[in-house]
């Protein structure tokens, strides 16, 4: 698909929520700076420490935000699904990126320069409200993550991660979770070692809570697994 046609489809489709907030003059200026890029699996979109310059919208694919922790182990601090915005928070704080954005599968990402968007916000209250809503939603998500990762047992954390992946990305036609995570990524999402993630998945399978075939995972006893997720053990 030619670039002008692709951009036109994106702004009228996936990014219509923010695009419709611009005036005609703003749209004309933004079009000159609008970018859409394609990334392969495991590509880095941006690295921790780089200058934050763009509002990004995931058009297609899956993205994880990771941060290096103690001992060099990475924690997945947020998952991105299509039509979600990311990458703009550090700009408002006047700091570099505080995490890495890495594709989980082949992905398409749209980029809008924050410097231009910031200028629009001074005279466009609807655009300012858009960013307030985006930030508020992510703060609520972070609050829930903190409780889960700090207060739940390993089994509860992994069970919650499986439900989060299912609810976030949906199911494939065969009923498996439509997110083929490696054991390392499951561990990093659940704040545990890879070996603990492997052992806990095996235990869930033996208890007939899930079916595991490589990276394909199907929840087979939602009621019991939900109790483990809720009560944390």
90's CB contacts (< 8 A; 6+ apart) are 52, 96, 97, 98
CATH 2.60.120.10 segments of the chain: 3-124
Q: Are the C-beta atoms of residues 96 and 49 closer than 8 Å to each other?
A: yes
- Where the chain has pLDDT below 70, the residues are 1-4, 143, 146-150
Q: Are the C-beta atoms of residues 216 and 162 closer than 8 Å to each other?
A: no
Q: What is the pLDDT of residue 110?
A: 94
Q: What is the pLDDT of residue 143?
A: 65
CATH 1.10.10.10 segments of the chain: 153-231
Looking at 1.10.10.10, 1.10.1740.10, 3.40.50.1820, 3.40.50.10330, the CATH number of the domain 153-231 comes to 1.10.10.10
Looking at 3.30.565.10, 3.30.56.10, 2.60.120.10, 3.30.930.10, the CATH number of the domain 3-124 comes to 2.60.120.10
* Single pTM value for the model: 0.88
Average pLDDT score, the chain: 90
Return the ∠ at Cα 180 (arms to 161 and 36), rounded to 5°. 100
53's CB contacts (< 8 A; 6+ apart) are 91, 113, 114, 115
Q: How many angstroms separate the Cα of 62 from the Cα of each of 87, 138, 178?
A: 14, 17, 10
pLDDT tens digits for 153-195? 899 999 999 999 999 999 999 999 999 999 999 999 998 999 9
CA dist 72 and 138 (Å) reads 25
């Amino acid at each position: 698909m030619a670039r002008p046609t692709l951009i036109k489809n994106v702004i009228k489709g996936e990014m219509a929520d923010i695009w419709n907030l611009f005036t005609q003059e703003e749209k004309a200026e933004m079009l000159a700076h609008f970018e859409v890029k394609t990334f392969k699996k495991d590509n880095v979109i941006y690295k921790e420490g780089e200058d934050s310059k763009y509002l990004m919208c995931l058009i297609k694919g899956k993205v994880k935000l990771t941060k290096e922790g103690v001992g060099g182990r990475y924690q997945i601090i947020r998952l991105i699904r299509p039509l979600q915005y990311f990458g703009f928070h550090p700009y408002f704080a006047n700091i570099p990126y505080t995490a890495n954005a890495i594709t989980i599968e082949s992905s398409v990402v749209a980029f809008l320069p924050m410097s231009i968007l910031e200028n629009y916000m001074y005279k466009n209250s609807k655009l300012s409200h858009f960013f307030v809503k985006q930030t508020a939603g992510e703060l609520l998500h972070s609050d829930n993550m903190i409780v889960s990762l700090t207060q739940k047992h390993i089994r509860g954390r992994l069970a919650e991660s499986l439900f989060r992946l299912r609810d976030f990305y949906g199911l494939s036609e065969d009923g498996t979770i439509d997110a083929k995570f490696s054991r390392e990524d499951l561990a990093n999402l659940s704040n545990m070692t890879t070996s603990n993630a492997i052992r806990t998945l095996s235990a869930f399978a033996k208890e007939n809570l899930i079916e595991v075939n490589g990276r394909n995972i199907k929840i087979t006893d939602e009621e019991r697994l939900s109790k483990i997720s809720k009560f944390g053990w």
